[in-house]
Chains A and B, each alone.
Chain A
């Protein structure tokens, strides 16, 4: 239910009642999405969309964090070597 899907903003426009709207591409599908709560997001940005409303702009820098944390663990020698290279 709290499913949020990342998609790329293709264009933005003002909706009928003054809401900021836009077209967002999810893989192969496109949909009109409410962008009212991501005023900083522009065409080309990725947003997390939940039930037709964007709830965040995906941070490009933070997107790598999950792999950087792994780097830190590796650098600290906290990987179990025998397991780490297992197929």
Chain B
């Protein structure tokens, strides 16, 4: 991106106690590359083999973690019998079809600019997706940030700009900030269609299932960066299940696994943080306060999991002027899922993506039957991208070399 005019003399504050930036280039991006180190990954794998006396089953909650695990083949390098179950932590995947249909109906309304993160565009609704709606003339735009959608509303005072506010707790402060900004600027043409979900009630629902095999969790590092670990201590204590808040790079994930395994072997069920460079036990209090200003806890339906009490955020009455569901009350279509898609079982960790009869044949990222094949964080898309050959050809587990430098 190009430098901008506003970068001129903005009164930079002196650098406070920070060490000089490390040399770039060879080591790559700071705080990313070092956590992809092959030697550290091998040592963690060795430690996990040494620690584990039994075939434990862990769930990584976040789709970003699933992506890393499948990409680097970490699950195939674990001791025999140890299983990673892919959790429901992909907001694109769990957004229920009736909200996609609602989004489609709003997007097709004349005078509406419908703004969304890119990966929502190909999520199938009952009859179409947002990409097809755009091809048919709807003004659907991809934005990187909800704040960009507010800028769209300012630039187009004659249009109604609706932002598709999906996401977990991580995204709630950003979406709330967009509403607060629109309120401050008295924008009458900005609203958000909310499909926000919360992680802890979903963990409770998974643990309550009679099919639950999960013995420990790798909790989502960025959700906890915002929310802290308070709610997780309750889940861990109530279900006697260890929870380790974990990052997203291969070495981060292996540390999380090692810490969960150690707890399981020692019979503990604590909440620990393996991603302390971003996560504080109290979370980000200021960000959470912004989210709580705009949102309140509501019941939500999850695609594949059904309705879970208190599992989502909705817009508070004080900000109802910015709630697209109230601004467009009549927009909606009857919803129907593809009968062939078993996303619900995948999202609960009961089935793996390649166990589906439609996987990579009738269901592909180009023509998805269900949302987990659409999002880059969806388990089905990760298997499609990295495991299509492995599923049919030679058994995987080709060695630690799968962790690149």
- Chain A positions within 8 Å of B, measured between CB atoms, are 1-6, 8, 10-13, 17-19, 23, 26-27, 29-32, 34, 36-39, 42-46, 48, 50-53, 55-56, 58-60, 62-63, 65-67, 69-70, 73-74, 78-80, 83-84, 86-87
Contact = CB atoms under 8 A, between A and B. Distances in A.
13 contacts: A1-B117, A1-B167, A4-B221, A4-B278, A42-B14, A48-B225, A52-B146, A55-B284, A56-B225, A58-B277, A59-B277, A60-B19, A70-B255
B240 to A, nearest CB: 24
Interface residues of B, number: 83
Interface string B33-61: 00100001011111101110000000000
Contacts of B323: none
A43 B13 contact: yes
Interface in B169-188: 170-171, 173-174, 177, 181, 184-185
B229 to A, nearest CB: 14
B173 A79 contact: no
Nearest to A65: B276
Contacts of B211: none
A37 B290 contact: yes
Given A45-B18, A50-B170, A66 B255 contact: yes
Interface in B219-236: 220-223, 225-226
Would you call the interface of chain A mostly helix, strand, loop, or mixed?
mixed
B43 A42 contact: no
Contact of B35 (A19, A39, A56, A66): A66
A11 to B, nearest CB: 5
Contacts of B6: 13
B7 interface: yes
Nearest to B38: A87
Interface string B1-45: 111101100111111101101000000111110010000101111
Contacts of B181: 17, 19
Contacts of B168: 1-2
Contacts of A38: 284
B278 A42 contact: no
A7 to B, nearest CB: 9
B301 interface: no
Nearest to B146: A51
Nearest to A6: B31
B344 interface: no
Contact of A8 (B30, B43, B259): B30
B287 A73 contact: no
A74 B377 CA distance: 34
Nearest to A50: B170
B166 interface: yes
B286 A37 contact: yes
A1 B279 contact: no
B198 to A, nearest CB: 13
Given A12-B12, A63-B31, A1 B174 contact: no
Contact of A51 (B16, B40, B171, B290): B171
A87 B265 CA distance: 28
Contacts of B89: 2
Contacts of B247: 66
Contacts of B10: 11-13
A15 to B, nearest CB: 9
